[in-house]
């Protein structure tokens, strides 16, 4: 679901989607994510055995939900700020997308082959940490010019994307901790 939301954001920045369409699609994805999380929490209460600790699954689902919430907020703020230059933002979104792909691969491996999950977790955390570096580079470039309302708005959106990267870092750390508990 995070990758679908990132696809909406990427299309919005590339002008492949109108603001209204992007807002509607991202809200729908975020609501579907909330519904899935509620179902997951209910299932955790009934499950006798889980592939990793219940608490870790719960915390992971919260980090993923926070990521979706952040993407929804980004789209809303993009609409409010009426920015037209997405280049700096696109670099950060690319880094977030890589982290999300690696995180999905790690989660997919948990049940069937947890030993294969670890390299994806490491890659996801590395990619999510790269979001911070790309964010810092883009902030430096942004502030190399004159200060304007456009610059301030773009900085706010860059900070929103950085926070999304931090949610993905936390998700990766949760998975890493879960694997340590399992002795892997």
Average pLDDT of the chain to the nearest whole number:
90
Confidence bin at 78 (pLDDT 50/70/90):
very high
What is the crossing angle of helices 87-112 and 117-142, to 10°?
Answer: 170
pLDDT digits (tens, 9 = 90+) for 108-133: 887 777 777 888 888 888 988 999 99
Contact between residue 66 and residue 4 where contact means Cβ atoms under 8 Å apart: no
pLDDT at 53: 87
Q: Can you list the positions of beta strands (E) in the chain?
A: none
Domain span at residue 53 reads 2-182
Contact between residue 135 and residue 92 where contact means Cβ atoms under 8 Å apart: yes
Structure tokens at 109: 């491996």
Tally of structural domains, the chain = 1
Percent of the chain with pLDDT over 70: 98
Q: Can you list the positions of beta strands (E) in 31-151?
A: none
Q: What is the CATH number of the domain that holds 6?
A: 1.20.58.220
pLDDT at 161: 96
pLDDT at 167: 95
pLDDT digits (tens, 9 = 90+) for 46-69: 888 887 888 999 999 999 999 999
């Amino acid at each position: 679901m995070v990758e679908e939301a990132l696809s909406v954001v990427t299309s919005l920045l590339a002008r492949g989607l109108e603001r209204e369409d992007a807002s509607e699609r991202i809200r729908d994805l975020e609501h579907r994510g909330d519904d899935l999380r509620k179902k997951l929490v209910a299932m955790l209460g009934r499950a006798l055995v889980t592939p990793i600790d219940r608490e870790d699954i719960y915390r992971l689902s919260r980090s993923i939900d926070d990521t979706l919430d952040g993407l929804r907020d980004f789209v809303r703020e993009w609409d409010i700020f009426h920015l037209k230059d997405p280049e700096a933002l696109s670099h950060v979104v690319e880094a977030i997308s890589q982290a999300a792909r690696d995180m999905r691969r790690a989660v997919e491996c948990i049940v069937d082959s947890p030993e294969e999950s670890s390299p994806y977790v490491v890659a996801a955390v590395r990619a999510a940490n790269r979001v911070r570096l790309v964010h810092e580079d883009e902030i430096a470039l942004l502030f190399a010019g004159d200060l304007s309302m456009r610059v301030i708005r773009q900085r706010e959106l860059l900070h929103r994307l950085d926070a999304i990267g931090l949610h993905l870092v936390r998700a990766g750390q949760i998975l890493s901790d879960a694997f340590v508990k399992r002795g892997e």
